[in-house]
Structures are given as structure tokens and as C-alpha cells.
Structure 1
Amino acid sequence: MRTERVRTSGGGLREQHKARRRVRILDATRALLREGPESVISTERIAERAEVSPATVYNLIGPREKIWEALADGLMDELEDRLVALGSGDPQDVVRSTVQLFVGDPVVSRRLVRGWEESGLVLDRSPLVRLRRAMADARTRGLLRADVDTDALAAVVSTACVGALHRWVAALIDDDKFLANALFALDVALAAAAADPYRDQLLAPLRTRGAV
């Protein structure tokens, strides 16, 4: 069960105090979502749970749409932390870590995705940024052909993963299937773009599945 952490870039005690209150607000929001996945999460309820005033919620984060955005930012912060801890730029690590992050807190993740849709948010940060870097790195290391547009390849994989995410949110597939579908999309893309010396290596996961 994930808990928001204090993130500050220095500053005085006032800024640190504001950061801690912001953490309490987001942790309170997650707790309320877990307790009532389909309930309306009002600013007043969040404020009561976080032991702050509704005005503080609004001033530190904003209206409900901004709360979804802040939760999404927290999710991306956690993804960055996990990938840094792994110390790897492997595309598989990006996809696997992203899926594990969503399924690790399923109630909040599902509600968050629905909140994105309802509010029409366009996220400034997403796993696609990391996936693009990982694909570009794979090309630099010679795993992928030099002529491959790695941004386009990452976008194709991301689209497939988002589709799997929405099927998981709708409970049409379980956690394992969500991960399997996301990794399958990645494996197909990598195999299609493989440089000759690595073709067999990148085809191996598909052969194992019996897909080739």
C-alpha cells in the first residue's frame, strides 16, 4: 500500500510544513478511495481526514481535477524511484514496473484512471517518456536497427499498454493478464525492430509463448 512521501528542494520551514500537509492530503485521499471506491470524494471529506481545512486542500493542491493530477504525479514519482533503484534502462523494466505500480494499489489506480477520463486530463508526465528513453538506449546499444524510429515504436507499445490498462480497470482481465498483454506488445515491437545480431534473442520470448 503506497504512501506519499515528502519531496522538497530545500526551502525554509514554511515550505517544508506545506509539503508535509500536502502529503497528508494526498495520503488521506488514497485512504478514502480505498475505503469507498465508488463514493464521491469531496474536498471537505479529504480535509477532515487529513486534519486540515478545506481551504488548505484548495490552496495546496486545488479543485478535484487537480487532486487527480497530484495523485498521478505521485504515481510517476514512484515509477521514477523504482526505475532508478533498478539501475536499468531496459524497456522491459519500464513496462513491468509500470504495470506492477498500478496493480500494487488497485482500488486507487482504477479510480485514478476513471478520474483522468472524467476530468479530461492530459498528463504532463507518463511512462511513455521513460519508455522512449529506454527504446532509444536499446538502439544505441545496437539491439535495435539504426533506422528504427524509437519514439514511434514506444508510442505503439504505449497504446497497446493503455488498452490493457483499460481492460484491467474494467475488470475484464486480471493482474497477470494485464502484465502479460503489456509485455507481449513490447516483445512484438522489439522483435520487429531487432538488429540482425539480436534477432533470435528478441524473438525468443515470442517463441516461448508459441506466438511465432
Structure 2
Amino acid sequence: MTAMTAAPTPPPAAPAAPVARPRPGLRERKKIKTRTAIRDATYGLIREQGYDATTIEQIAERAEVSPSTVLRYFPAKEDIVLTDECAPLLVAELRARPADEPWLDSLRHVFRTGITLGASAPAPEEPEVTRLRTRLMVEVPAVRTRMTENMARTGRLLCQVIGERTGRAPDGFEVRVAAMSLVGGLTEAALYWAEHGHEDDLGALVDRALDVLDQGLAPGKP
């Protein structure tokens, strides 16, 4: 029997280059500026008087736009709180990862870049705003309902990426289950974070959520 020798250890792979995003054109920059003004006005009013007391008319006045402009950018007040701008960025980042990289490694890399916290959005979110937004997700029923609808849209985007990475049909049962399990896990991490006074590190909670999705529940009590 021929003796087997260990293969030489390959050198560590160079880190993947960050995704290059073209600078938005003038029209897109104006849209981003308007959306940011509307969000800033909304969160300022919510801090002052609460979510239910804040109206579209008040938001428009403070953002110095018309109420119709607010509704053109955000069809409902809940949409101002629950923007899904990070979902397309998440998809773009996942598509940019090496095709042979383990799926869980790709996810961890992307989430550690700040995608889940809005840090890579066109208008990066302040930590205070992230805390307020997640608190509203817990406390306001209308926001929770809208959040469920947004989860479905994000799941459909992830189905496309998972299908590309695995060679499966994006609308296949297993792909849909995998996508929505991921979306649900990330949502629960955000809700748990808010329910516990934002005391935990959200990045660590996301890592734990990925561990559960990858390994299931460990036997016995934690």
C-alpha cells in the first residue's frame, strides 16, 4: 500500500476586493437627498411626539416637501421606518463573493460589512436611528405588519442569489425555505436586540442567528 503524504498547505487566499459602486448621477443624488430629508423629519417628529401622533403632513412640512412627494417616495408612513434599501445591496454583495466560497462564509462576510445595520446604504444610518427603528418594529403593530410584507420581498431577492449559487430554481421549495429562514433569523436578531434594550451587540446576535441556521439547536439547555 502506497504511503500518502500530506499536500503542502496553500498560501492564504487574498481577500476579495470590495464591490465597486459607481457614483450616483445628479438625479439619483437628488432622490437620495429627498428620501433622507423625509426620513430625518420622520424620526425627529417621532422622537418628539411619538409614532401615532406623527402625520404625513407634519413630515412634509418639516422636510420642506409636499405631502404628495412624501407618498411618492414612501407609499405609507410605515415604509419610511422600514426601508428595504439594504436588500438590493445585500444581494449585490453576495453576488460579488467568490462562487466557490461556502455560503455561510459569504453571509458572515457581508453582514460584518455593516449591510444589516444600514451602514452601506446610500445614506448611512446613525446608531441612534437604528435603535429607534428596531424599537418601533417591536412596539407599533402597523410597523410589524409592514415588516412581514417587506420580509417576503427580501426573501424573493435572496431566492435569486441562492438559486445562482446552488444551480437550483429560484422558486424551488428548498430555495424558498432557505431564503425565508435567513430573513426570519435576521429579523428575530433585530427584534431580540430591541426587546432587550439594545444591550447586546447586534453583530454578535446576527452571528448567533447564522449559527442556528447552519447547525440547528445544540442539544440540552444553553
Note the C-alpha offset of 1:160. 3.0
CA contact 1:103–1:109 (8 Å) conserved in 2: no
TM-score, length basis structure 2: 0.53
CA contact 1:131–1:154 (8 Å) conserved in 2: yes
Count of residues paired in the alignment? 171
Note the C-alpha offset of 1:108. 3.0
Structure 2 residues without counterparts, runs of 5 or longer:
1-23, 99-105, 119-124, 168-172
1:92 and 2:102 are equivalent in the alignment:
no
2:14 matched residue in structure 1: none
CA distance in 1 between counterparts of 2:208 and 2:40 reads 34
CA deviation profile, 1:101-124 (whole Å, cap 9, x unmatched)? 388321134325634226686227
Structure 1 residues without counterparts, runs of 5 or longer:
1-6, 141-147, 193-205
1:144 matched residue in structure 2: none
1:33 matched residue in structure 2: 46
CA distance in 2 between counterparts of 1:156 and 1:136 reads 15
Instruction: Give the letter for the 1:186 counterpart.
Output: L
Q: CA RMSD in A?
A: 4.3
Note the C-alpha offset of 1:69. 1.7
Which structure has the larger Rg over C-alpha atoms?
Answer: 2
Taking a change above 3 Å as real, the CA distance of residues 22 and 152 of structure 1, as seen in their structure-2 partners, is closer
CA distance in 2 between counterparts of 1:17 and 1:158 reads 31
Equivalent of 1:72, from 79, 82, 90?
Answer: 82
CA contact 1:34–1:108 (8 Å) conserved in 2: no
User: Normalized per residue, which structure has more helix?
Assistant: 1
Q: How does 1:45-64 map to 2 (within 5 A)?
A: 45-54=58-67, 56-58=69-71, 61-62=74-75
CA distance in 2 between counterparts of 1:21 and 1:59 reads 11
TM-score, length basis structure 1: 0.55
1:184 matched residue in structure 2: 208
Instruction: Give the letter for the 1:123 counterpart.
Output: N
1:81 matched residue in structure 2: 89
1:156 matched residue in structure 2: 181
2:149 matched residue in structure 1: 122
Give aligned-pair identity as a percent. Answer: 22
